[in-house]
Amino acid sequence: MKILVTGGAGYIGSHTCLALLEAGYEVVVVDNLRNSDAQSLKRVEELSGKSLSFYAFDVRDENRLDALFKEHRFTSIIHFAGLKAVGESVTIPTKYYANNLISTLALCKMMKKHGVRNLIFSSSATVYAQDNAMPLGEDARLGCTNPYGWTKLMCEQILRDLCVAEPSFSVVLLRYFNPIGAHKSGRIGEDPAGIPNNLLPYITQTALGRLKQLSVHGDDYDTVDGTGVRDYIHVVDLANGHLKALEYAQRNRGCEAVNLGTGQGYSVLQILHAFEQVNKVTVPHVIGPRRPGDIATVYADPKKARDLLGWEATLGIEDMCRDAWNWQTQNPKGYRA
């Protein structure tokens, strides 16, 4: 079975390509390398001992996409390609809407034209409104606070409508919580450009000495120790969730939204201390002000993923912290070294 993976050179995409090759799928990647390095795919081939096909172009390029769908008969598509920096999406919203919506629309068109019926879409926990009770079930109220989030929610709506119009189609909207960690080999991992916004890359780069200190964004939330609580999920567990979603999509019809999280929340200080303990390093940190737009606590109800897909997270916070550090120490400058 041949799978088209858009954005396959990126953080989650590269881990999923590896899992796909290991499971015996044929993999074709399209990525414009806007936020990644083709080196990640070379390493995926090296780790799996198998090869994949890579095409460097923008998913919005319908002519290239059409030719690709003629060249390969895809069973399914996993659509990771997208811009994902929340702050940047506030400054340049039209770029985010253009990239994330038009790439999804181009794929919808090709699915219809070439009779490819299954699609797995990278959505996010960010589509849930901020005033929901925890844990977040898939039927919680939806609503966003930034353009990035809106692009995800709008793509979800587009794909839902597509499934109504095309009853033979099957789409799984995977709502990721907070992916962290790396493959245990340390050969592939998260390689953010510039100064990271997310917690784990900030911690690893501080531990390495590239950044001076971590600022903990607020310690006056109503949580176990006052710092923000999130549902961190190992990227390898997340990658495996895509394989389960593929199997589900191939057997069913219609559109389903499914959370991929562990159901367990950890605070910033809990993560920081776990990281220091597991890796025997010190991470200089200070308590700073709250980050605008943050909320106290976010974690998933993972039941639907278990019931519908037969998937649940297996790796714990120590694995996530150890593997993130293993990747960072082996690749202090990411793939660019």
Indicate the SS3 state at residue 4: strand
What is the rounded distance in angstroms from the CA atom of residue 187 to the CA atom of residue 328? 10
What is the rounded distance in angstroms from the CA atom of residue 229 to the CA atom of residue 163? 35
In this chain, which of 6, 99, 178, 279 binds ligand UD1, going by CB under 6 A? Answer: 178
What is the rounded distance in angstroms from the CA atom of residue 155 to the CA atom of residue 149? 10
Out of ligand UD1, ligand NAD, none, what residue 214 binds, judged by CB under 5 to 8 A for its kind, is ligand UD1
Out of ligand NAD, ligand UD1, none, what residue 199 binds, judged by CB under 5 to 8 A for its kind, is ligand UD1
34 binds ligand NAD (CB under 6 A): yes
Look at phi and psi of residue 49 and say left if phi exceeds 0, alpha if psi is from -120 to 50, else beta. Answer: left
Q: What string marks each residue from 77 to 116 as x (binds ligand UD1 by CB under 6 A) or -?
A: ---------x------------------------------
322 binds ligand NAD (CB under 6 A): no
In this chain, which of 104, 118, 122, 328 binds ligand NAD, going by CB under 6 A? Answer: 122
- The distance of closest approach from Cβ of residue 285 to ligand UD1 in the complex, given in angstroms and rounded to an integer, is 9
Look at phi and psi of residue 214 and say left if phi exceeds 0, alpha if psi is from -120 to 50, else beta. Answer: beta
In this chain, which of 159, 268, 300, 317 binds ligand UD1, going by CB under 6 A? Answer: 268
228 binds ligand UD1 (CB under 6 A): yes
Give me the active site residues, please. 148
- Nearest residue by C-beta to ligand NAD? 10
78 binds ligand NAD (CB under 6 A): no
Structure tokens at 70: 């003629």
Q: Name the burial class of residue 26, with classes exposed (0-12), middle (13-18) and buried (19+) by CB atoms within 10 angstroms of its CB.
A: middle
Kind of pairing between the strands at 76-79 and 2-6:
parallel
36 binds ligand NAD (CB under 6 A): yes
DSSP state of 336: G
What is the rounded distance in angstroms from the CA atom of residue 49 to the CA atom of residue 64? 28
10 binds ligand NAD (CB under 6 A): yes
By CB under 6 A, name the binding residues for ligand NAD. 6-7, 9-13, 30-36, 58-60, 80-84, 99, 103, 122, 124, 176, 179
